[in-house]
């Protein structure tokens, strides 16, 4: 990648201010220089209209779920019925079809201004749980897909061993399991070693959930994270039934079980964290565990959204994810955190636009193992996301309130330019791979019955 300069009509600079006329020079994958107050764009600089923000991080993704959008909405299905449809889809995946679907899904993310993705990966093996000749081929497919689409990827390889507490894996779930955490760690260590020198790929670990990873197996996953200094993610208290079963069998909530077995901490992200007790909040916050909110998926599956502000004030940094990809739009995820708080508290303004942009950018990137991303400062990853301020959603915006206009009014459709790691992946609303809608249509059609 050659050096290039960008002139931003407005740029969102630390500590959360829209600054006019910012000239940004990029060398390779990093910002080399950031100069505010440049009134006129130099002739050799690419002009970025609207508000330019740092690259956004989708901290929780299941790429293959994208094929379920619009296919699971009819009727009054329960969550378990939705999950059966998801397992049916997982059963049809192979390395080639997974690559095609993930590439298109990640390209859709890039169009939405996402430059880093945390892929919560558990479809590891072939039919009946038989490992492929390369036991990490499905992970390789996801990594290739993200890099093709222009995203950094943190592959969060999930340890998934049981179907509910104490129940063995069956049918499609056999593809998810490695037998025990030690065999999981052997496989993931090999994967991590392959990408140890690849700057835009991070291999992290995941305890899928308390229901799918027995407590005695969790320390092995934690040890992997410590040895590799890697992110560790875990789905926590997504549904009330999960809590009830956990308390019944372990006499403790999921958060308490995770705390007792060393899973919580400042490199860990608790995803969902929807149904929490005061003790759970204290454990998550007191351990500085990140919490990833996924509001569009929660509402799609008829769940609530967790107590984000309470968790934040207890000490948990808040990040955002699109999870099942019912919607891929981190601006929508951001504003739904605030709007959900309004609905539950009866108060407005619990979260400011600056708070929510921080969650979508700097904090989310850090939770994925990139603390040097999510800022427009020299030395950081060169990620720039430009959002129109003259669309039907954002028309009438003013410079002083551009952040509010983007967070509370704009959508992914207003993103017109994306630079990710110094690479221009979206130009005038079009992705470098071509027609992403057609890509998605072909990839999803190939997986239909």
Identify the architecture of domain 4-54+373-430 in CATH.
Roll (2.30)
End-to-end alpha carbon distance in the chain: 42
This prediction has a pTM of: 0.97
pLDDT in tens, 298-324: 988 888 889 999 999 999 999 999 999
Give the pLDDT score at 2. 67
Per CATH, 4-54+373-430 and 56-367 having the same topology is answered: no
How many CA atoms does the CB half-sphere of 162 hold within 13 Å? 16
Burial status of residue 69 (CB atoms within 10 A of its CB: 0-12, 13-18, 19 or more): middle
Nearest partner of 102 among 443, 331, 447, 449, judged by Cα: 443
Q: What angle do CA 334, 102, 269 make, to 5 degrees?
A: 45
Domain ranges of the chain: 4-54+373-430, 56-367
Residue tagged 């009330």 (tokens): 240
* CATH superfamily to which 56-367 belongs: Metal-dependent hydrolases (3.20.20.140)
Mean pLDDT score of the chain: 96
What is the 8-class DSSP label of residue 228? H
Mean pLDDT over 365-387 rounds to 98
pLDDT, tens only, 169-225: 999 999 999 999 999 999 999 999 999 999 999 999 999 999 999 999 999 999 999
Q: Alpha carbon 426 to chain centroid distance? A: 19
* Percent of the chain whose pLDDT exceeds 70: 98
């Amino acid at each position: 990648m050659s050096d290039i300069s960008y002139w931003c009509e407005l740029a969102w600079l630390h500590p959360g201010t829209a600054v006019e006329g910012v000239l940004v020079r990029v060398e390779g994958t990093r910002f080399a220089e950031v100069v505010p107050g440049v009134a006129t764009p130099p002739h050799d600089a690419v002009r970025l209209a609207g508000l330019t923000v740092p690259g956004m991080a989708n901290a929780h993704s299941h790429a293959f779920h994208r094929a379920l959008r619009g296919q699971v909405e009819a009727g009054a299905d329960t969550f378990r019925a939705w999950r059966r449809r998801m397992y049916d889809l997982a059963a049809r995946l192979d390395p080639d079809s997974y690559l095609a679907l993930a590439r298109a899904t990640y390209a859709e993310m890039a169009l939405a201004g996402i430059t880093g993705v945390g892929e919560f990966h558990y479809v590891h093996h072939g039919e009946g749980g038989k490992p492929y000749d390369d036991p990490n081929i499905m992970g390789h497919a996801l990594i290739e897909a993200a890099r093709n689409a222009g995203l950094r990827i943190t592959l969060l390889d999930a340890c998934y061993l049981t179907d509910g507490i104490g129940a063995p894996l069956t049918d499609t779930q056999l593809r998810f399991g490695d037998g025990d955490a030690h065999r999981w760690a052997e496989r993931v260590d090999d994967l991590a070693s392959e990408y140890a020198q690849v700057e835009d790929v991070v291999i992290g670990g995941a305890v899928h959930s308390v229901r799918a990873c027995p407590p005695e197996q969790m320390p092995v996953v934690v040890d992997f994270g410590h040895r590799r200094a890697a992110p560790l993610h875990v789905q926590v208290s997504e549904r009330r039934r999960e809590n009830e079963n956990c308390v019944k069998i372990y006499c403790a909530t999921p958060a308490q079980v995770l705390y007792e077995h060393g899973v919580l901490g400042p490199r860990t992200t608790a995803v969902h964290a929807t149904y929490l007790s005061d003790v759970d909040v204290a454990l998550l916050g007191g351990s500085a565990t990140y919490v990833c909110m996924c509001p569009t998926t929660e509402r799609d599956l008829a769940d609530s959204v967790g107590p984000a502000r309470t968790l934040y004030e207890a000490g948990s940094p808040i990040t955002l994810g699109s999870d099942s990809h019912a919607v891929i739009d981190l601006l929508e995820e951001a504003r739904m955190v605030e709007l959900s708080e309004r609905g539950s508290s009866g108060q407005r303004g619990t979260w400011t636009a600056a708070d929510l942009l921080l969650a979508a950018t700097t904090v989310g990137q850090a939770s994925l193992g990139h603390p040097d991303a999510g800022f427009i400062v020299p030395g950081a990853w060169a990620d720039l996301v430009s959002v129109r301020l003259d669309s039907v959603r954002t028309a009438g915006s003013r410079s002083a309130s551009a952040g509010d206009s983007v967070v509370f009014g704009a959508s992914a459709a207003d993103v017109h330019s994306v630079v990710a790691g110094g690479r221009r992946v979206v130009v005038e609303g079009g992705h470098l791979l071509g027609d992403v809608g057609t890509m998605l249509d072909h990839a999803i059609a190939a997986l239909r019955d």
